[in-house]
Amino acid sequence: METRKLGRQGLTVSALGLGCMGMSEFYAGRDDAESEATLLHALDRGITFFDTADAYGPGRNEELVGRVLNPHRAKLVLATKFGLVRDPNNPQARGVNGRPEYVKQACEASLQRLGMDVIDLYYLHRVDPKTPIEDTVGAMAELVKAGKVRFLGLSEVNADTLRRACAVHPITALQSEYSLWSRDPEDGVLQACRELGVGFVPYSPLGRGFLTGQIKRFEDLAEDDYRRHSPRFQGENFQRNLKLVEHIDRLARQKQCSPAQLALAWVLSRGQDVVPIPGTKRRKYLDDNLGALEVKLTPQDLKDIEAIAPPGIAAGERYPASMQGLTQSNTSASKEAR
Closest by Cα among 298, 271, 317, 286 to 45: 286
CATH homologous superfamily, domain 3-207+270-293: NADP-dependent oxidoreductase domain (3.20.20.100)
How far apart, in whole angstroms, are the C-alpha atoms of residue 17 and residue 77? 9
Check 56, 178, 203, 226 and give the catalytic one: 56
> What are the pLDDT digits (tens) for 119-146?
999 999 999 999 999 999 999 999 999 9
The strand pairing partners of 13, in sequence order, are 4
Write the single-letter amino acid at 168. V
| Whether the Cβ atoms of residue 237 and residue 231 lie closer than 8 Å to each other | yes
Q: What is the pLDDT of residue 330?
A: 45
Closest by Cα among 226, 241, 204 to 320: 226
56 among known catalytic residues: yes
Closest by Cα among 67, 69, 87, 89 to 78: 69
Q: What is the pLDDT of residue 334?
A: 33
The size of the chain, in residues, is 338
**Cα–chain-centroid distance for residue 210?**
16
DSSP three-state, residue 78: strand
Residue 40 CB neighbours (<10 A): 15
Closest by Cα among 185, 188, 204 to 276: 204
Contacts with 51 (C-beta within 8 Å, 6 or more apart), sequence order: 17, 18, 19, 20, 21, 79, 80, 175, 201, 203, 277
H-assigned helices in the chain: 32-44, 60-69, 100-114, 133-145, 159-166, 189-196, 235-255, 259-268, 283-290, 299-308, 321-324
H-assigned helices in 235-327: 235-255, 259-268, 283-290, 299-308, 321-324
DSSP letter at 334?
Answer: P
Residue-level pLDDT, tens digit, the chain, 338 residues? 999 999 999 999 999 999 999 898 776 667 899 999 999 999 999 999 999 999 998 889 999 999 999 999 999 999 999 999 977 666 666 789 999 999 999 999 999 999 999 999 999 999 999 999 999 999 999 999 999 999 999 999 999 999 999 999 999 999 999 999 999 999 999 999 999 999 999 999 999 888 998 887 777 777 777 677 788 887 788 888 889 999 999 999 999 999 999 999 999 999 999 999 999 999 999 999 999 999 999 999 999 999 999 998 887 777 665 565 556 654 333 333 32
DSSP three-state, residue 229: helix
- Please compute, for residue 330, the number of CA atoms within 13 A of its CA located in the half-sphere on the CB side: 17
The H or E element spanning position 210 is none
- What angle (nearest 5°) sits at the alpha carbon of residue 103, between those of residues 101 and 109? 110
Q: What is the pLDDT of residue 24?
A: 83
Closest by Cα among 249, 172, 257, 188 to 214: 249
Q: What is the pLDDT of residue 48?
A: 98
